[in-house]
Amino acid sequence: MTDITYYGHSTFLVTLDQTKILFDPFISPNELAEGIDIQDITPDYILITHGHSDHVADVEAIAKNSNATLVANFEVATWFQEKGIEKVHPMNHGGSKTFDFGKVKYVNAIHSSTLPDGTPGGNPGGFVVQSGDTAFYYAGDTALTYDMKLIAEEFDIDFAFLPVGDNFTMGIEDALKAAKMVGTRKIIAMHYDTFPYIQIDKEATKKAADKAGMELIMLNIEENITF
């Protein structure tokens, strides 16, 4: 069973059986996520796609509080290690690693990646997680890219977390193509409405997904779903 809680922007807590995996925590600076106490979020792992502050703002506090293992590319992992986070696991593009909850592959993303203090964050990525019969893709911030077809060749993707906010990442039309490329009809939307640049028309976005025969899930902040 897979349990998913949304904390706004691109932040999701995915629980696979007993393991809690937090993606790209950006909660305390997000006005839309006011009222969430990050001390209540106690993941076993934190997966980070790239170094931009809207993906890493709460990593240090949550990692120190929960003793979670950080998984990120080499540059981002090293940067957090130097901040005193003890449990870090560096990866890089094309690499897979099997953890106690399953396999993680760090895959391509087309974007940029600078850490909050200006340190280069290496190249941005996304993750594919395979745990038992469940496989999902967490795209991070990315443009549409044909590389996504490689994911469908290797994995039977059940659902995908895709950005739909446009401007800095894919918008809905490209996200629908991305879902098709990775081989799923179930999209969990992220990276929209947080900032004026990425405010979207949710009705029109949903209609576009319906028209394409895709299931687009837009969770409310703190909403939880189970597959």
Residues that bind Mn ion (CB under 5 A): 52, 54, 141
Say how far residue 74 (Cα) sits from the centre of its chain. 17
Residue placing its CB nearer to Ni ion in the complex, 2 or 28 = 28
* Secondary structure letter of residue 194 according to DSSP: S
Residue placing its CB nearer to Ni ion in the complex, 58 or 141 = 141
At 86, the amino acid letter reads: E
What tokens appear for 129 in the block? 């997680």
To the nearest whole angstrom, how small is the minimum distance from the Cβ of residue 168 to Mn ion?
6
52 scored as a contact of Ni ion (CB under 5 A):
yes
24 scored as a contact of Ni ion (CB under 5 A):
no
Contact, 191 vs 221, CB < 8 A? no
Q: Which does 174 bind (CB under 5 to 8 A by kind): Ni ion, Mn ion, none?
A: none
Residue placing its CB nearer to Ni ion in the complex, 141 or 166 = 141
What tokens appear for 57 in the block? 């703002």
Q: Using CB under 5 A as the criterion, what x/- string covers residues 144-183 for binding Ni ion?
A: ----------------------------------------
Residue placing its CB nearer to Mn ion in the complex, 55 or 105 = 55
Cβ-proximal residues to 37 (8 Å cutoff; 6+ apart), any chain: none
Which of the ranges 49-57, 151-159, 174-182, 196-204 carries the binding residues for Ni ion, by CB under 5 A?
49-57
For residue 219, report the phi and psi dihedrals to the nearest 5 degrees: -80, 150
For residue 114, report the phi and psi dihedrals to the nearest 5 degrees: -120, 135
Q: Which of 24, 58, 75, 141 binds Ni ion (CB under 5 A)?
A: 141
Contact, 141 vs 49, CB < 8 A? yes
Residue placing its CB nearer to Ni ion in the complex, 141 or 174 = 141
